[in-house]
Amino acid sequence: MNIDARLEELALTLPPAPPKGGVYKPVVIIGNVAYVSGHGPYLGEAGYLCGRLGADLGLEDGKHAARQTGLALLATLKSELGSLNRVKRVIKLLGMVNSTGDFEDHPKVINGCSELFAEVWGDENGIGARSAVGMGSLPGNIAVEIEGIFELNA
Amino acid sequence: MNIDARLEELALTLPPAPPKGGVYKPVVIIGNVAYVSGHGPYLGEAGYLCGRLGADLGLEDGKHAARQTGLALLATLKSELGSLNRVKRVIKLLGMVNSTGDFEDHPKVINGCSELFAEVWGDENGIGARSAVGMGSLPGNIAVEIEGIFELNA
Amino acid sequence: MNIDARLEELALTLPPAPPKGGVYKPVVIIGNVAYVSGHGPYLGEAGYLCGRLGADLGLEDGKHAARQTGLALLATLKSELGSLNRVKRVIKLLGMVNSTGDFEDHPKVINGCSELFAEVWGDENGIGARSAVGMGSLPGNIAVEIEGIFELNA
């Protein structure tokens, strides 16, 4: 499967790869495994989707933010690897939701990213292990932060 | 060591493997490493142990919830791998406690899972690296969520 | 590069490796990868740097705590591996900040650790992938907790 063609078929537009917000590398590769730094819902020039689930953001806002975070992860992978065709599959995601103490729907929020990856790579390769949890706060008050581990093609 | 016999010896009863609560795989294997998705304290038909440490749950409640989460992780590993004998050792756990801002005993809570794994696999193989931390909120208000990385036998 | 000599050149003094605060191993090695348990800003006999960013700690306090956490991670790596020369590079850090709900500068805090590692191992090997996020609470009210994955020399 050609993933770049697949993105076009799905009419998906990637944002620019997000600028670094600290002292880290966007992606570190060891063997056939790529560790990708925590990403937020980056829109490009318009900045990040911000806010807190359970307070100023509803479930659909959160799911949309997670999908946008997925697009930002794809943008970084493409930028760092040269082509998304180098990615074989998703190994694991850690989905972190900016949420109030009584928020309970973190999995539904992070599904916004997981469903995107399933569209892009298919269910077998696009869906990995996952945790979806609620954070006390996130950098710049972004709505969602997701980090990932991906397997690369040999 | 036959782990299925060991569970019987310890008189441990596993809950059913928890149903999936979102778009993820319970376990992803790469090489001899298994990444297991975040699990909660699943009891089977009775659902999940819920509540917040520092508010409506005490330390023993939390430790019990972490032990139950460990049993749920074992149930998923057994279900996905066919037999717990395929697991060689615990590499790492991330123990996430649903807790108030002034709660300080996260390690004691997560010990409930770590002590269970030490009983099952012995100290050398059952005890791995770990972080034990406090979350702003967890899905469905579960008391504890734990994800793990396990080494499989070759 | 001899890292023990490099520490001396930088006039860095490591604290003792922190005592274990629960049922876990400080480091687990699989192949050429070392998983290091969550560490806090350990000072030795004086204990841990405690407090919450956004409440009783300012940004410089937090960054200092993250740097001290980095020194504690180095102390554990040296103690467990025999020599820091066995570490090839940083693969990934998860930087967890004890912070209020409205705190937004987690990356700047965790830079305290990342800049230390860049001084020690250089930018290429000392800077890895990273997430920097806000926790609802941390064990013993420590200011920062950081866990890491490191590549070892073959």
DSSP B140: G
How many CB atoms within 10 Å of residue B19? 7
Interval A78-94: pLDDT, tens: 999 999 999 999 999 99
Q: Tell me how far apart the alpha carbons of residues A88 and C1 are, in angstroms, rounded to a whole number.
A: 35
Q: What is the pLDDT of residue A1?
A: 75
- Chosen from C67, C97, C106 to mutate, greatest number of chain A CBs within 10 A: C106
Q: Is residue B43 part of a domain?
A: yes
Average pLDDT over residues B68-92: 98
Q: Which two tokens stand for residue A102?
A: 């009584």
Q: Which residue of B has its CA nearest to C22?
A: B107
A106·B139 Cβ contact <8 A: yes
Q: Tell me how far apart the alpha carbons of residues A20 and A37 are, in angstroms, rounded to a whole number.
A: 10
State the nearest Cα–Cα gap between B124 and chain C, in angstroms.
9
Longest CA span, chain C = 45
- Residues 75-104, chain C: which have Cβ within 8 Å of A? 90-94, 99-104
Q: What ipTM was estimated for this complex?
A: 0.97
Q: Is C133 helix (H, G, I), strand (E, B) or coil?
A: strand
Q: H or E element: which one contains A90?
A: strand A87-98
The DSSP annotation for B27-65 comes to: EEEETTEEEEEEE--B-STT-B-B--BTTTB-HHHHHHH
Q: Is A108 helix (H, G, I), strand (E, B) or coil?
A: helix
B52·A133 Cβ contact <8 A: no
Q: Tell me how far apart the alpha carbons of residues C73 and A59 are, in angstroms, rounded to a whole number.
A: 38
A22·C111 Cβ contact <8 A: yes
Q: Tell me how far apart the alpha carbons of residues B24 and C150 are, in angstroms, rounded to a whole number.
A: 27
Q: Is residue C27 part of a domain?
A: no
User: What CATH code is carried by the domain that includes residue C7?
Assistant: 3.30.1330.40
pLDDT band at residue A51 using 50, 70 and 90 as cut-offs: very high
Please, are residues A126 and A120 in contact by the beta-carbon 8 Å criterion?
yes
Q: Is residue A20 part of a domain?
A: no
- Residues 16-75, chain A: which have Cβ within 8 Å of C? 21-28, 30, 35-38, 52
A136·C111 Cβ contact <8 A: no
How many beta-carbon pairs below 8 A join chains A and C?
92
Residue C11 has pLDDT above 80, yes or no: yes
Q: Tell me how far apart the alpha carbons of residues C79 and C91 are, in angstroms, rounded to a whole number.
A: 20
- Chosen from C30, C35, C92, C147 to mutate, greatest number of chain A CBs within 10 A: C92
CA B33 → CA B90, B146, B151, C53, distances in Å? 10, 17, 5, 36
The DSSP annotation for A98-147 comes to: EB-TT---HHHHHHHHHHHHHHHHHHHHH--EEEEEEESB-GGGBSEEEE
Q: Which residues make beta-bridge pairs with A6?
A: none
Q: Is residue B19 part of a domain?
A: no
Q: Which two tokens stand for residue A81?
A: 């690897």
Q: Tell me how far apart the alpha carbons of residues C132 and A139 are, in angstroms, rounded to a whole number.
A: 8
Q: Which two tokens stand for residue B82?
A: 């066919």
C120 at interface of A, judged by CB pairs closer than 8 A: no
Q: Which two tokens stand for residue C27?
A: 């480091």
Report the percentage of chain A scoring pLDDT > 90.
98
Q: Is residue B65 part of a domain?
A: yes
Mean model confidence pLDDT for chain A: 97
How many CB atoms within 10 Å of residue A58? 11
Average pLDDT over residues B30-36: 98
Residue B146 has pLDDT above 90, yes or no: yes
Q: Which conformational region is residue B82 in: left (phi greater than 0), alpha (psi within -120 to 50 degrees), or beta?
A: left
Q: Which residue among A24, A28, A139 sits closest to C104, beta carbon to beta carbon?
A: A139
Q: Which residue of A has its CA nearest to B146?
A: A131
Interval A18-31: pLDDT, tens: 999 999 999 999 99
Q: What is the pLDDT of residue B4?
A: 87
What ranges in A45-105 are assigned the alpha helix state H?
59-81
pLDDT band at residue C4 using 50, 70 and 90 as cut-offs: confident
How many CB atoms within 10 Å of residue A127? 21
Adjacency order of strands within the sheet including B129-135: B27-30, B33-39, B144-152, B87-98, B129-135
Q: What is the pLDDT of residue A107?
A: 98
Q: Is residue B83 part of a domain?
A: yes
Q: Which residues of B touch C138 (CB under 8 A)?
A: 106, 133-134
Please, are residues A115 and A121 in contact by the beta-carbon 8 Å criterion?
no
Q: Tell me how far apart the alpha carbons of residues B11 and B7 are, in angstroms, rounded to a whole number.
A: 6
Q: Which residue among B92, B111, B136 sits closest to C136, beta carbon to beta carbon?
A: B136
Q: Write out the residue range of the structural domain in which residue A64 sits.
A: 3-15+25-152
Q: What is the pLDDT of residue C1?
A: 75
Average pLDDT over residues A49-55: 98
Q: Tell me how far apart the alpha carbons of residues A59 and B37 are, in angstroms, rounded to a whole number.
A: 22
Residue B47: CA count within 13 A, CB half-sphere:
8
Number of domains in chain B: 1
Q: Is residue A60 part of a domain?
A: yes
Interval C20-37: pLDDT, tens: 999 999 999 999 999 999
Residue C87: CA count within 13 A, CB half-sphere:
32
Q: Which residue among B33, B101, B129 sits closest to C136, beta carbon to beta carbon?
A: B101
Q: Is residue C100 part of a domain?
A: yes
Please, are residues C134 and C99 in contact by the beta-carbon 8 Å criterion?
yes
pLDDT band at residue C118 using 50, 70 and 90 as cut-offs: very high
Q: Tell me how far apart the alpha carbons of residues C39 and B146 are, in angstroms, rounded to a whole number.
A: 18
